[in-house]
Amino acid sequence: MLALALPTCAHAQGEVALKLLLEVLAGVYALVVLVVLLRVRRTNWRLRTKLILALALVAGPPLLLAADELFGQISDRISARHLRAVQAEDTAQAVPYLEQACATQRVVPSAAVTVHGADGLFVSSTPSLILPDAPRLAYTWFDASQAALRHRRQYRIELAWTTQVYPPTLPSDHDFAFVEEMDGDHLRASAPRVWWESQGLARVSEDERPRVLQAIASYPGRRIAWALADDQPKARYHLELADISTVEDRRHWVARGRVRLLDDRDDRVLAEYVGFFADLESNAAVDDGNSWERTLECPGQERRYALEKGGFYPVNFFFDQFVHLD
């Protein structure tokens, strides 16, 4: 009954409170035992009374451990039930909001574009999402950590339109001659052997060229990735991925993302896609580092590009549907 009276507005609150309570009880018990033993030594009680008292003292710790286990199980059940209730409530808000946003604000190219694959592609993504106008946290001292984790998951995580937070590359079977992206502070390129053996090798510093040639000769894969000497992208086309979620989106556990293909020679936007997806496990395992893993995309072709374990891979969708390479 004590466990049922504990607050359960944050994950594991009941368990923490129960453990704290049992630690206090254990301290009180130890003090009582000490006082009783001291008193028993000075009394002339009957032997049967002393044996009963000794038995009670011996059985006390196991009973406390059993109570701890029982309270822990009750607390886990209450916490799990609460998480399911919160998740169901969030999902009930997320799905209608997703459907409305997809119907009114989804953006797709009016027609597919054709680009010259030999001119290369530069891939970039926005930095981590921070929504300065997100609601402030409202929590007490005993649930600060869990509330902060959930708040970060809801309002401060950039999804990059995949389950990862780093710039995704193109599908492995793409036909661009070379693809560049920033790897830390340096430019990194991925290209077939023929590109590295020609103009690609000229972009590698001289001390790195022997290692590149060795990689070309020994690596069995279709494409080879390597850090380049200069830090200025040379590719003509620019693939830009951005999380453009609004506070209202994230309030409903919905993410908004944009994929753009630009021609860097004249800054033209060749194709743009804006879509949405909802988190269906908004409050599940908020402290395990995995975010937005089971999602629901806009109705239509997007759902064909959902990842096996959840999430959405928009790069494949974008190039398969809207970009042709000559």
pLDDT in tens, 17-57: 667 776 777 777 767 766 766 666 566 666 667 666 666 66
Same domain, 123 and 223: no
Query: Which one, of 60, 58, 76, lies nearest residue 14 by Cα?
Result: 76
Q: DSSP per residue over 130-155, as a string? A: --TTSPPP---GGGHHHHHHHHHHHH
DSSP designation for 3: G
The lowest-confidence range among 111-115, 152-156, 246-250 is: 152-156
Final residue in a domain of this structure, among 206, 231, 256: 231
Same domain, 208 and 236: no
Same domain, 240 and 321: yes
**Confidence band of 171 (pLDDT split at 50, 70, 90):** confident
Tokens of 51: 């044996």
Same domain, 140 and 263: yes
Distance CA 179, CA 191 (A): 6
Same domain, 240 and 307: yes
Query: What percent of the chain lies above the pLDDT cut of 70?
Result: 74
pLDDT at position 8 is 40
pLDDT at position 66 is 77
Mean pLDDT along residues 282-302: 73
Residue 85 pLDDT more than 50?
Answer: yes
Tokens of 221: 């894969």
Distance CA 139, CA 148 (A): 9
Residue 230 pLDDT more than 50?
Answer: yes
- pTM reported for the whole predicted model: 0.72
Q: Is residue 268 part of a domain?
A: yes
Same domain, 311 and 211: no
The residue that leads in pLDDT, 69 or 179, is 179
Same domain, 197 and 266: no
- Specify the number of domains making up the chain: 3
Looking at the DSSP assignment, which residues form a beta bridge with residue 179? 121, 190
> 75 lies in which domain range?
3-84
Final residue in a domain of this structure, among 84, 118, 149: 84
pLDDT at position 226 is 87
Same domain, 295 and 256: yes
Q: Is residue 148 part of a domain?
A: yes
**Confidence band of 144 (pLDDT split at 50, 70, 90):** low
The lowest-confidence range among 107-121, 162-176, 194-208, 228-242 is: 162-176
Q: Is residue 90 part of a domain?
A: no
End-to-end alpha carbon distance in the chain: 71
Same domain, 268 and 145: yes
* 47-105 vs 13-41: helix crossing angle, rounded to 10: 170
Average of per-residue pLDDT values in the chain: 79
Final residue in a domain of this structure, among 231, 262, 292: 231
Mean pLDDT along residues 174-189: 85
Residues 6 or more apart whose CB falls under 8 angstroms from that of 56 comprise none
Distance CA 262, CA 157 (A): 25
Residue with tokens 């451990």: 65
